[in-house]
Amino acid sequence: MYVFGGADDRRSFGNDGEVHLLEIEQMKWSRLQGTGDLPAARFGHTFNAISDTDLLLFGGLCTTEGSTSHPEFLGPSAPAWTHGAAEASSDPYVFNTRTLVWSRPTLTNNIEHPSGRYLHASAVVDETLVIYGGLDGQGRANAEVWVLNLSSWHWQRVSPSIALPPAFGHAMAVYGGSVYCFGGNYGDEEEDISELYRMTVKTGDTIEVSICETNNSTAPCQRRFHSMDMIAGRLYVLAGASSPSSTRFADLYVYDTSTSRWSRPLYDGAPINLRSHCTTVLHDKLLVFGGIRDKSGSDEVRISKKLFFLNVLEIKEGATEGDFKFKLVSVGDSGVGKSCLLTRFVNDVYSDFHVSTIGVDFKTVVTMVKGRLVKLQLWDTAGQERFSVVTGNYYRNADGFVLVYDA
């Protein structure tokens, strides 16, 4: 895994073209000293693989030593920001991982190219780099979509087939010749984007854009500064934050492109409560590094230097049985709507109508716990007061109880 740039509260990284390499087998970090046409230190950039040996750097906010207020997107609880003057970059750079040489490709059209930006999103599909959105040096979001031909190094601004909103803090991933884009903020700091877009690059000056179906599944809460990666036809959306409530997420959502459905599998280990982190994919593993995390029991935030591995091999879609099965029964006052409240927390959807659950479980979840497939059955006695004679059947062989209070 190659890492370039980034920032903490004191400075941006990447001076002298330094790149850090994580050798997975040895779990060893190495500092690679680049040579050639060196880029400035920066954060908010993108760093995409364009071949087996080359990585393409675009955009980012280049800062100098000095003192200035921290960017608004970090939130009021961010550490004191001691960066100096900042300038959004518009130059692409290529880093060769064999020779450790930086170069700036010669563009075939110097007149038409994207302006400097950061916190944009980019993806490489076939021989094309696609970038969308981002903030300029004054913190203004845009809705521009640009494509860079990686053979001719020709920039072209393309028109989406449907209107896209200004965005920053969103994420892109590629599958089947299409670019998927999710989340981000509209640029007003008040509302985040909830749609999952699919973009297909066409010849000419148009890019085909559609909003992905969800087939009545529960999509993630709208968010920004999350990550999104594609593994075997599934999009993995991890963590992030929302506006304007500044809610922090430590959840994982998976979008299956074959069924057009979202799911929310549980994962083992410590919650990955991060935003503005970076991720990459290694076979069936998702590698997560850096980002901003909240300090436990405090409003303070910290820059993370932890590395997480998320093994997604064991996620099984449509599994009906598990290695273990547990029966849980919800208990509480008859009028609180226990099943509706629990469904609200599990699916993030509240239903205000009654569903009969006589003799059956109203919710079944199959998930992974410590590498084992576990089936959880949730039973509810709500609405069964008329059938109190059979209520005991609900409690029989229960492995646990969920007490639901009337809020």
* Alpha-carbon span 34 to 18, nearest angstrom: 6
Integer Cα distance of 38 and 89 in angstroms: 13
Q: Taking the C-alpha atoms of 131, 136, 137 and 139 in order, what is their torsion angle to the nearest 10 degrees?
A: -130
CB-CB contact of 1 with 24 (8 Å): yes
Q: How confident is the model at residue 137 (pLDDT cuts 50, 70, 90)?
A: confident
pLDDT category of residue 396 using cuts at 50, 70 and 90: confident
Domain ranges in the chain? 2-311, 324-403
| pLDDT for res 162 | 95
Looking at residue 178, its pLDDT comes to 96
State residue 67's pLDDT score: 45
Mean pLDDT of 56-62: 95
Check residue 248 and give its pLDDT. 86
For residues 393, 318, 337, 355, the Cα torsion angle rounded to the nearest 10 degrees is: -80
Q: What's the whole-number mean pLDDT along residues 54-73?
A: 74
Mean pLDDT score, 227-255: 89
Average pLDDT over residues 123-147: 95
What global pTM score does this model have? Answer: 0.77
How many Å apart are CA 373 and CA 367, to the nearest integer?
6
Tell me what the pLDDT averaged over the chain comes to.
83
Cα three-residue angle 5-57-17, rounded to 5 degrees: 50
Q: At 228, is the pLDDT very low, low, confident or very high (cuts 50, 70, 90)?
A: very high
* Block residue for tokens 């760093």: 47
pLDDT exceeds 50 at position 392: yes
pLDDT digit string, tens, across residues 2-52: 999 998 877 788 888 899 999 988 889 999 999 999 999 999 999 999 999
d(CA 270, CA 252) in angstroms, rounded, equals 13
In the structure, what pLDDT confidence band is assigned to residue 403 with cuts at 50, 70 and 90?
confident
Distance in angstroms (rounded) separating the CA atoms of residues 327 and 364: 10
Q: What is the CATH number of domain 324-403?
A: 3.40.50.300
Token pair in block for residue 340: 């509706």
CB 86 within 8 A of CB 137: yes
- 3-state DSSP call for residue 73? helix
Q: What is the pLDDT of residue 348?
A: 56
Res. 375 pLDDT band, cuts 50 70 90: confident
Of 306 and 349, more confident: 306
Task: Report which of residues 162 and 319 the model is more confident about.
Answer: 162
Residue 122 has pLDDT above 90, yes or no: yes
pLDDT of residue 404: 76
Tens-digit pLDDT profile for residues 172-221:
999 999 999 999 999 876 789 999 999 998 877 889 999 999 998 989 99
- Highest mean pLDDT out of 81-85, 110-114, 155-159: 155-159
Local confidence band at 75 (pLDDT 50, 70, 90 cut-offs): low
**Superfamily covering domain 2-311:** Kelch-type beta propeller (2.120.10.80)
Q: How confident is the model at residue 284 (pLDDT cuts 50, 70, 90)?
A: confident
- Look at residue 302 in the predicted model and tell me its pLDDT: 82
When comparing pLDDT for 140 and 335, which is higher? 140
Identify the CA nearest to 176 among candidates 126, 119, 113: 126
